[in-house]
Amino acid sequence: MSFKDDLDDLETAEDFLRFLEVPYEQRVVHVNRLHILQRFHDYLNADEGIDRIDDDEALAERYRLHLTRAYHDFVVSNAIAEKTFKVHKDEAAKAANRFVPLDQLLGAPRFVG
**Residue 38 resides in a domain:** yes
**Residue 58 resides in a domain:** yes
Which pTM was predicted? 0.74
Which amino acid is present at 63? Y
Domain count, the chain: 1
Going by C-beta distance under 8 Å and a sequence separation of 6 or more, which residues neighbour residue 32? 74, 78, 79
**Torsion over CA: 60, 62, 63, 65 (sign):** positive
83 or 17, higher pLDDT? 17
Instruction: Of 6, 26, 10, 16, give the one whose Cα is nearest residue 65.
Output: 16
pLDDT in tens, 26-60: 999 999 999 999 999 999 999 999 999 999 999 99
Distance CA 20, CA 73 (A): 17
**Residue 55 resides in a domain:** yes
Which amino acid is present at 84? T
